Amino acid sequence: MRTDITKITEKTSHTGLTEGMHVYNAGTSRMFNTGEWRNNTPVYQEDKCKHCFLCAPVCPDSSIMVKDGKLLGIDLDHCKGCGICAEVCPFDAITMKEGIE
């Protein structure tokens, strides 16, 4: 079944869903809140952040929010809690907390 994700609603039956792991319409990945199945949560501490942006390119889910040369925080709707950002941050501005927030 190749259903356009933009046409899926709460009323769509299971036969009308897309297969798992497939996205059948371009530009729709933002509609999947992959953060719902996160196990761990990155905690961002703005006071420690030097805005070096080492963390942003390594995030596999583009969940590090950057605007106008500043790190704004972490998009927990899409973050999967892998912890890579916390590993690469040289200033301990991101730490991982067990569980979902």
Q: Are 53 and 66 in contact (CB under 8 A)?
A: yes
Assigned token pair, 14: 């299971």
Q: Min. distance of Cβ 77 from ligand SF4 in angstroms?
A: 11
Q: Min. distance of Cβ 93 from ligand SF4 in angstroms?
A: 4
What's the rounded Cα separation, in Å, for the pair 8 and 31? Answer: 11
- The alpha-carbon radius of gyration of the chain (Å, integer) is 16
Q: Which residues bind ligand SF4 (CB under 6 A)?
A: 42, 49-55, 59-61, 63-64, 71, 74, 79-85, 88-89, 91, 93-94
Q: Min. distance of Cβ 73 from ligand SF4 in angstroms?
A: 10
What's the rounded Cα separation, in Å, for the pair 85 and 82? Answer: 8
